[in-house]
Amino acid sequence: MNYLKTKRFLDFTLSLCGIIILLPIFFLISVSIKLDSPGPILFKQKRVGIHKRHFKILKFRTMRIDTPKDSPTHLLENPDYWITKVGRFLRKTSLDELPQIFNILKGDMSIVGPRPALWNQFDLIDERDKYGANDVPVGLTGWAQINGRDELEIPIKAKLDGEYVQKIGIKMDVRCFLGTIFKVLRSDGVVEGGTSTNPRDVKRKYQDNE
């Protein structure tokens, strides 16, 4: 895809500018996290990138340091128990995702693309294979995120990721980016602990841990 070279140039340029502009916000959030709970400021987790290569995604830490690792938040017995006070605000506003700007600068991610799956989310990874969605750069936000976010079940999420692959281009990326701003302002589709009381339904939801 010829667009991928242009996409990488835009990702590098915009992420570098974003880091410079957002430095004061990074500082304030970092101080808030340290004052709120013991532990590191950043949270690192193994995720699946383009061509199913693993990388360490960066987020602001929103959970206690003794939280079970490599498990989606909604599969924890009591998600709210593990989330810190500052973390709850960061998740609601999606500010916990800001450190991924460094992942974008490095080339692990793009600004727009399928959200990177956990390394052990084999069902999501397999579903994405059907649509070629594992062969494009993963993103900070994407088509699935503006069409349901945490509320989507895995088959639907993968299908939407496939639609993104089919329509990938500057127009699609701008549409996803602007749609994300609207979603974040309204906190649409953000669900802690799943959206269904049926355990089988809840288990099929995809949501980032941290």
pTM: 0.82
Q: Cα–Cα distance between 6 and 47 in angstroms, integer?
A: 24
The pLDDT profile of the chain, 210 residues, written as one tens digit per residue, is: 689 999 999 999 999 999 999 999 999 999 999 999 999 999 999 999 999 999 999 999 998 888 776 666 656 667 777 899 999 999 988 899 999 999 999 999 999 999 999 999 999 999 999 999 999 999 999 999 898 766 688 999 999 999 999 999 999 999 999 998 888 777 654 544 443 333 333 333 334 444
Angstrom distance (rounded) from CA 41 to CA 87: 11
- pLDDT recorded at residue 106: 97
Whether 143 contacts 164, CB under 8 Å: yes
Lookup: tokens for 41: 């400021």
pLDDT score of 77: 66
Provide the b/e sequence for 38-67 (b: ≥16 CB within 10 Å): ebeeebebebbbbeeeebebbbbbbbeeeb
10: its two tokens:
């835009």
Q: What pLDDT does 185 receive? A: 76
Q: Which DSSP state fits 48?
A: E
The reported pLDDT for the residue numbered 184 is: 76
The reported pLDDT for the residue numbered 204 is: 37
Residue 85 tokens read as 């006070």
**C-alpha span between 17 and 125 (Å, rounded):** 32
Amino acid 71: pLDDT: 61
Distance CA 175, CA 93 (A): 20
Cα distance between residue 106 and residue 24, in whole Å: 21
**What is the DSSP secondary-structure string of 51-94?**
GG-EEEEEEE--B-TTSPSSS-GGGSS-HHHHB-HHHHHHHHHT
* pLDDT of res. 26: 97
